[in-house]
Amino acid sequence: MAATTRLISRLAVVTGGGSGIGRAVCQRLASEGATVVVADLNEDSANQTLRILTHDLKGQDHMAAAVDVSSKESVEKLVTSIQCRYFQPPSVCVNAAGITQDDFLLKMEEADFDKVIRVNLKGSFLFTQAVSKALVACGAPKGSIITVGSIVGKVGNIGQANYSASKAGVEGLTRTAAKELSRFGIRCNCVLPGFISTPMTDKVPEKVISKITSMVPLGRMGDPAEVADVCAFLASDDSRYITGVSIEVTGGLFIG
């Protein structure tokens, strides 16, 4: 449940907001009073999330936008259009856009490696950079940038050399950004989901799902809303003394 209105008057942009964890983050931030820009490569999905927000929470001026996070031009264009519409840059940025192109290391195509790094890692860099630049330029007193990593970035996963490398990369990016941007009042943190029920996992066979859940101490897959809860905490002043950290949302998977 939403904790009152601790994000009232905040402007947030969420990449990958068209589905899964990104959509859940949009809903959670909006429920706490934030105005949300739903950004996704798939404009139809972004508009679908926007319809959910406007249906659930009338009276807030949310917007949906198409963006290719791997393109500097596309990212900068979106940040500029947000500033034109709202007369301010977003003070909350959630990098939730991500893709997988799984295969065994010995078989993985170079193009599939590059594509995942481009979206997951470079996309997080471009958005972090563009939002930070806009916040610094206008002298905003604070900002919170949250990147959705993965527990796989810490422990690796068979068939996911590209994905785990990209998610390990966003943790390094986040820690460095936290060190550089703290003097401008901008906090940068990572959320590391474990096995979460999303459109990405819907394709996984049932017997694989039950094997996975047997490894989770809490005995079940996570829900996107449970990741969104942590993102809302990191976006709010409740986490004002927290920067440069990674918070695992895994049901206890790989404890220690």
Taking a C-beta distance cutoff of 8 angstroms, is the pair 13, 93 a contact?
A: yes
Instruction: Give, rounded to a whole angstrom, the gap between the first and last alpha carbons of the chain.
Output: 29
- Alpha carbon distance 105, 107 (integer Å): 5
Beta-carbon contacts of 236 under 8 Å, excluding residues fewer than 6 positions away, are: 6, 7, 32, 144
Secondary structure (3-state) at 66: strand
Rg of the chain over all Cα atoms, to the nearest angstrom: 17
Residue 245 burial by Cβ neighbours in a 10 Å radius (0-12, 13-18, 19+): middle
| Cα–Cα distance, 195 to 233 (Å, whole number) | 20
* Number of neighbours of residue 198 by Cβ within 10 angstroms: 19
Q: Which of 163, 166, 178, 230 is catalytic?
A: 163
Catalytic residue list contains 163: yes
Query: Which residues lie closer than 8 Å to 165 by C-beta, 6 or more apart?
Result: 117, 121, 153
The SS3 call for residue 248 is strand
Q: Which residues are part of the catalytic machinery?
A: 163
